[in-house]
Structure 1
Amino acid sequence: MISHNIPALAVYLKPGEVYLADKPSVVTTVLGSCISVTMFSKRLKTGAICHALLPEGSHDEAFRYVDGSIYYMLARLTSLGVTRRELEVKLFGGSDMLTSSENPAIKVGGRNIQVAKEVLIAEGLSLAKEDVGGLAGRKILFHTHTGDVWLKRLRRGEIAESDLR
């Protein structure tokens, strides 16, 4: 019997990047106040993931921002024939790691979560899963061909160490 199992491509997603899979991939990223949105089409067995740093911003650097990243992934997936109805969407990250003791109003993680949810609702998308907020960072592995996400919560010192990859 011939096996047709093709090993998944290993990808490390850096802050400000978006990845749209054209072959089975396992995408790893480490999140603090940043967020990742994953989108997966079971029918096409393909997915996309972003690592956005800030809620909203310039179109010149759209992938750094939650809104620009979501709009881009949605546009690319729909151009492949994926319908909004079939998308499985998940949201991760947005911890309050950058909250300043001098200025508690600076809660980048919370704003990232808020903007992600606002954009998804405006686009008619609902979340299948979310793991957001809190004080812990997260390391996630997104399997683009199954939509599965493996998550590990990180203690404060682990984020800098994990991000060196």
Structure 2
Amino acid sequence: MKKPVGVAEVVLAPGQVSFATRPTRLRTLLGSCVAITFWHPQRQIGGMCHFMLPGRLRNHQSLDGKYADEALELLVQHAHLNGTQAQDYQVKLFGGGRMFPEQQRQRPTQDVASLNIRAALALAERYHLHLAAQDMGSTGYRTIMFDLWNGNVWVRHQPMGTLQQNA
């Protein structure tokens, strides 16, 4: 399907959540962070979050997209506000690349990338989400481009130690 005329483009920074009900392209750049994409195939609506950490202790604070559980809760709230259920969405998970592999061998308990991956998978299970795809782990960066008009997610993975070729 060709890109519709007048498509909005949104670039998510770490900690942001975006949900759209019209043709939109969502983009982000991930390292150890994880993005969750939500797409409703019948309604062609959905969103994406870009979380940085698995969670935090919350004391009646408002939801913050920096944290896995809260970012997913924000997506679920958007789904409900649009008359849909989270289980009706195709969900894809991306990111969790180790950015400092040498340091993480010395301190494996502080491996944020692995903690983020585990959080994303646990949340998908807890919410009974339909995981259509995932590309997580390894090292390096991922550029994500998510087209809401057809549900396609494009991923460019740049592992650590490889040179990016000019196209």
Counterpart of 1:35?
34
After superposition, the Cα gap between the structure-2 partners of 1:157 and 1:139, relative to the gap in structure 1 and judged at 3 Å, is farther
Counterpart of 1:104?
108
User: Residue 21 of structure 1 contacts residue 46 of structure 1 at CA under 8 Å; is this kept in 2?
Assistant: yes
Amino acid at match of 1:52: F
* 1:124 aligned onto 2:115: no
* 1:71 aligned onto 2:73: yes
Amino acid at match of 1:143: D
User: Residue 63 of structure 2 contacts residue 71 of structure 2 at CA under 8 Å; is this kept in 1?
Assistant: no
Deviations 1:124-159 (A, max 9, x none): 11310000000121001011222110110124489x
Deviations 1:6-51 (A, max 9, x none): 3311111101100011321111110000000000111211111001
CA RMSD of aligned residues (A): 1.9
Q: May I ask how many residue pairs the two structures share in their alignment?
A: 154
Counterpart of 1:162?
none
Structure 2 SS opposite 1:105: helix
User: Residue 98 of structure 1 contacts residue 107 of structure 1 at CA under 8 Å; is this kept in 2?
Assistant: no
Structure 1 SS opposite 2:49: strand
* Residues 11-20 or 147-156, more deviating: 147-156
Amino acid at match of 1:82: T
Structure 1 SS opposite 2:108: coil
Q: 1:144 aligns with which of 131, 138, 148?
A: 148
User: Residue 98 of structure 1 contacts residue 106 of structure 1 at CA under 8 Å; is this kept in 2?
Assistant: no
Counterpart of 1:92?
94
Give runs of aligned pairs for residues 3-18 of structure 1, distance below 5 A. Answer: 5-18=4-17
Output the CA distance in 1 between the equivalents of 2:52 and 2:159.
Answer: 20
User: Residue 138 of structure 2 contacts residue 159 of structure 2 at CA under 8 Å; is this kept in 1?
Assistant: no
Amino acid at match of 2:84: V
Output the CA distance in 1 between the equivalents of 2:30 and 2:86.
Answer: 26
Structure 2 SS opposite 1:121: helix
Gaps of 5+ in 1: 159-165
After superposition, the Cα gap between the structure-2 partners of 1:144 and 1:116, relative to the gap in structure 1 and judged at 3 Å, is same
